[in-house]
């Protein structure tokens, strides 16, 4: 049987993995076997990439090395709050977000942020609580495994598109194995700490991090549901019969 005519035995499971994926923000300490992580990455590597360049590099953090990175970046996060002038010391290798937000993206961003904070009882202006919640990123939301993704700096912007498909594959393959994930751009500002810690070369840049593990079903934060726009709001039918 060829890859052209290989059937998908249960299309509903594929759809379910996509529709039930969410960014978990509280994990259990339950270990994830190395064999499971390797299997997820084995499946994810089938992501499409321009000219089959496969530009991804993955660093898996567990145990003491994970804990050491958490401590380093949490310390830097606290230091930056006390000394905002250090901002230039902690900056990302590329602009993940726009430098100037406009609607409708600004409205969606605000809705997302305040909906999450509202669920957690964090009031607007409560900078201490906001800082603590943001720092949960740098604790991998207590997940036992953290992933860091890098890209050789020589590669073009198209490789970030390739990377998105690879990351999505990881998240969906994780769901198929009863695991959850949280992709995290928050780590990018601390690339100067992350890259040396994981042993990445100077020719690599940090794309993002990701928490992976068993989601804590009892955590209120994991009830947070992010809405999606209707298909009609972002789709333009060109040269088609709109009535069909």
What is the rounded average pLDDT of the residues 153-178? Answer: 98
Whether 244 shows a pLDDT value over 60: the answer reads no
Q: Which of 173, 221, 176 is nearest to 27 (CA)?
A: 221
- Please state the rounded mean pLDDT for residues 156-182: 98
Residue 223 phi/psi, 5° resolution? Answer: -95, -5
The pLDDT value given to residue 243: 62
pLDDT at 2: 84
Q: Where are the alpha helices (DSSP H) in the chain?
A: 11-19, 34-44, 63-82, 105-119, 127-135, 158-176, 191-198, 231-234
**Residues 209-231 pLDDT 10s:** 999 999 999 999 999 999 999 99
Helix (H, G, I), strand (E, B) or coil at 11: helix
- Sequence-distant (6+) residues with CB within 8 A of 103 are none
Question: Is 169 a residue whose pLDDT tops 80?
Answer: yes
Which CATH code, of 3.40.50.2000, 3.40.50.300, 3.40.50.720, 3.40.109.10, is assigned to 20-96+138-225? 3.40.109.10
- pLDDT, the chain, mean: 96
Give the Cα separation of 41 and 73 in Å (integer).
26
> How does pLDDT run across 26-44, given as a tens digit for each residue?
999 999 999 999 999 999 9
How much is the pLDDT for 129? 97
Q: Which of 4, 1, 7, 10 is nearest to 176 (CA)?
A: 10
Whether the CB-CB separation of 182 and 25 falls below 8 Å is answered with yes
Cα 123 from Cα 120, distance rounded (Å): 9
Residue range 125-147, pLDDT digits in tens: 999 999 999 999 999 999 999 99
Round to whole Å and give the CA distance between 76 and 135.
10
Helix (H, G, I), strand (E, B), or coil: what is residue 226? coil
The pLDDT value recorded for residue 242 is 60
pLDDT of residue 135: 98
Q: Put residue 121 in one of left, alpha, beta given phi > 0 → left and psi -120 to 50 → alpha.
A: left
- What are the residue boundaries of the structural domains of the chain, listed by start? 20-96+138-225
pLDDT at 81: 95
């Amino acid at each position: 049987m060829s890859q052209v005519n290989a059937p998908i035995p249960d299309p509903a499971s594929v759809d379910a993995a996509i529709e039930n994926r969410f960014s978990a923000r509280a994990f259990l300490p339950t270990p994830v076997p190395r064999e499971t992580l390797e299997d997820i990455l084995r499946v994810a590597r089938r992501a499409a990439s321009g000219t089959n360049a496969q530009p991804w590099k993955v660093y898996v953090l567990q145990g003491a090395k994970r804990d050491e990175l958490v401590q380093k970046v949490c310390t830097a996060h606290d230091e930056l709050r006390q000394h905002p002038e250090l901002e230039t010391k902690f900056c990302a290798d590329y602009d993940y977000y726009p430098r100037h937000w406009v609607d409708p993206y600004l409205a969606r961003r605000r809705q997302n942020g305040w909906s999450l904070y509202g669920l957690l009882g964090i009031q607007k202006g409560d900078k201490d609580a906001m800082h603590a919640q943001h720092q949960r990123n740098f604790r991998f939301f207590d997940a036992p495994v953290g992933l860091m993704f890098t890209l050789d700096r020589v590669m073009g912007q198209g490789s970030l598109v390739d990377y998105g498909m690879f990351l999505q594959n990881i998240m969906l393959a994780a769901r198929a194995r009863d695991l959850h994930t949280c992709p995290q751009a928050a780590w990018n500002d601390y690339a100067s700490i992350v890259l040396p810690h994981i042993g990445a070369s100077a020719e690599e840049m940090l794309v993002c991090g990701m928490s992976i593990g068993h989601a804590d079903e009892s955590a209120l934060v994991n009830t947070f549901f992010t809405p999606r726009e209707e298909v009609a709001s972002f789709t333009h039918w060109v040269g088609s019969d709109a009535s069909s």
